[in-house]
Copies of this chain bind each other. A is one copy, B any other.
Amino acid sequence: MSGAVQLWCAVVRVLPQHTSRVYGAAVAPTLLLASNRGPASFTDGTDGDPVVRPGGGGLVSALSGVNGTSDALWVCAALTDADRRGVRRHPRRLPVEAPTAVRMLDVDPVVFDRAYNDVANSTLWFVSHLLYATPSEPVFDALSRRAWEDYRSYDAAFADALAEEAAPGATVLVQDYHLSLTPRQLRARRDDVRIGHFTHTPWAPPEYFCLLPDGMAREVLLGLLGADAVGFLSRRWADAFVDCCVAVLGAQRVDGGVRCEGRTTRVDVHPLGVDAAELRARAARADVRDRVAALRELAGDRQVVLRVDRTELSKNIVRGLLAYRELLVTRPEWHRRVVHVALAYPSRHDLPAYREYTGAVQRVAREINSEFGTEGWQPVVLEVRDDYARSLASFVVADVLLVNPLRDGMNLVAKEGPVLSERGLSLVLSREAGAADELADDAFVVNPFDVSATAEALHEALRQPPDERRARTDRLADAATRLPPSSWLAAQRAALAHPSH
């Protein structure tokens, strides 16, 4: 998992069991959150009526650790047909017990599809992760213009709802690349509120960001600059954002931020970490312990090289497998002494490139097993069915954790693994993950495009002495838990208490 999805999952994982709370608070909210995916969703009940379920998405535990959330409101979008049926019955507040009240927006499904799939996930995500095959993509034509208008109206639906709901002087925290235009749109409607925006993805350098049509590029940057403070997961992404503002808008670098069109926007770095206590409590439950036992039986006395990802183009699963193959070729001493457990969960299967990528992952895994496998030794164990308890269990037993994204806002897998590891694990980490800022000192850092160097790092990781592994894992866990979700959210709120106008 990664970027925003990773965040949501991470936060949901540490979600305390909800206590009862009124869900239709009558007072105007003074703290508002806005995100594409919300903390609740609908499913169709047995009688065909939509039933709401809490826990579909994050920030909730972060909120529960912060004072003054009883008058908080979370604004999110209906993502499925069941959501749409549900929200039509409950247009102002979902009937859900959560740390905040929830308002779900009923956006036209065609508009949503273009905004979410065509713009957010096929354009802005690709730009920020440098994923395009540039000779053929992107193509910005009349169709993409129409999708952009849908993205604009989707973001405006959030701005409308936030403007309608917010108490005077309220704080509004807008999340991620789905809603990059919302801060400016909200500013135009309500100049009294304090607006923050947080980006969970990387940011592209100007030469790549400028693949976007001029108008879109300006709108995205000005959209974010409508906030009083914008936040990023790494100094690299924050700097790239400022570089883009300077190159595209002619904005001015100022201490701690950027100045454009007479306004100054703070630019901060809040490197989200994990909540160790919550994570360990979850991993202590029976479903995880059962899977720990099963994984230990599977591994026997072999070392486990683990990866856990959505099957996302930026996650670099194929090169990870190729590196493991090169390890087996160049270091035959590991034959039968290691097993690669690759948990690669489905992602964005409505996009053809993602379906093809999943096929490539499965193909390479099969090839390795057929090339090197022996009676009693299957070199790669690839699992493509999502199983959260198994992911946690795998962190407990892994000896080496491979996290090699091409580019990643943060990557919380790299932080969760060391926290849950029982005997210590060696982390092989891409330098292109935001997490490398904090974890590089105790990891084997690799260039994710360099399969040979990754193979060599796996070798070094496998032969790391247990004491060294243990000591490094402890330091990694410390670094990983330095800014748990509640502190991360508090930092965003504090930045808005001191905007730099």
Contact = CB atoms under 8 A, between A and B. Distances in A.
Nearest to A453: B213
Contacts of A452: 140-142, 144-145, 213
A132 to B, nearest CB: 8
Nearest to A329: B142
B140 A130 contact: no
Interface string A110-139: 000000000000000000001111111011
Nearest to A325: B141
Interface stretch (A64-72, A203-211, A416-424, A458-466): A203-211
Please give the count of copies of this chain that the complex contains: 2
A117 to B, nearest CB: 17
Given A135-B314, A452-B141, A447 B213 contact: yes
A360 interface: yes
A313 interface: yes
A340 interface: no
A47 interface: no
A146 to B, nearest CB: 11
A318 interface: yes
A409 to B, nearest CB: 15
Size class of the A contact interface (CB-based, 8 Å): 35 or more
B406 A322 contact: no
Interface string A304-322: 0000000001101011001
B141 A130 contact: no
A449 interface: yes
A214 B357 CA distance: 27
Contacts of A135: 131, 313-314, 316, 318, 353, 357, 406
A134 B130 contact: yes
Interface string A234-255: 0000001000000000000000
A97 interface: no
B213 A140 contact: no
Interface in A276-321: 313-314, 316, 318-319
A326 interface: yes
A344 B278 CA distance: 61
A330 interface: yes
Most buried by B among A138, A208, A319: A319
A139 B364 CA distance: 14
A353 B130 CA distance: 20
A140 B330 contact: no
A450 interface: yes
Nearest to A206: B205
B313 A139 contact: no
Contacts of A330: 142
A452 B131 CA distance: 22
Given A135-B406, A141-B452, A142-B452, A447 B205 contact: no
A450 B208 contact: no
A451 B140 contact: yes
Interface in A166-215: 205-208, 210-214
Contacts of A212: 449
Contacts of A132: 133-134
A141 B205 contact: no
Contacts of A205: 205-208
A136 B210 contact: no
A22 B453 CA distance: 52
Contact of A213 (B136, B206, B450): B450
B360 A141 contact: no
A449 B139 contact: yes
Most buried by B among A213, A313, A353, A449: A449
Nearest to A236: B207
23 contacts: A130-B134, A130-B207, A133-B134, A134-B406, A134-B449, A135-B316, A135-B318, A135-B353, A135-B357, A135-B406, A139-B449, A140-B449, A140-B450, A141-B452, A142-B326, A205-B205, A205-B206, A205-B207, A207-B208, A208-B208, A210-B447, A211-B447, A214-B450
Interface of A: 130-136, 138-142, 144-145, 205-208, 210-214, 240, 313-314, 316, 318-319, 322, 326, 329-330, 353, 357, 360, 406, 447, 449-453
Task: State the 3 A-B residue pairs at the shortest beta-carbon distance, nearest first.
Answer: A133-B133, A135-B313, A141-B451
Given A139-B322, A205-B206, 15 more contacts: A130-B134, A130-B208, A131-B134, A131-B135, A133-B134, A135-B313, A135-B353, A136-B360, A139-B449, A140-B449, A142-B326, A205-B205, A211-B449, A213-B447, A213-B453
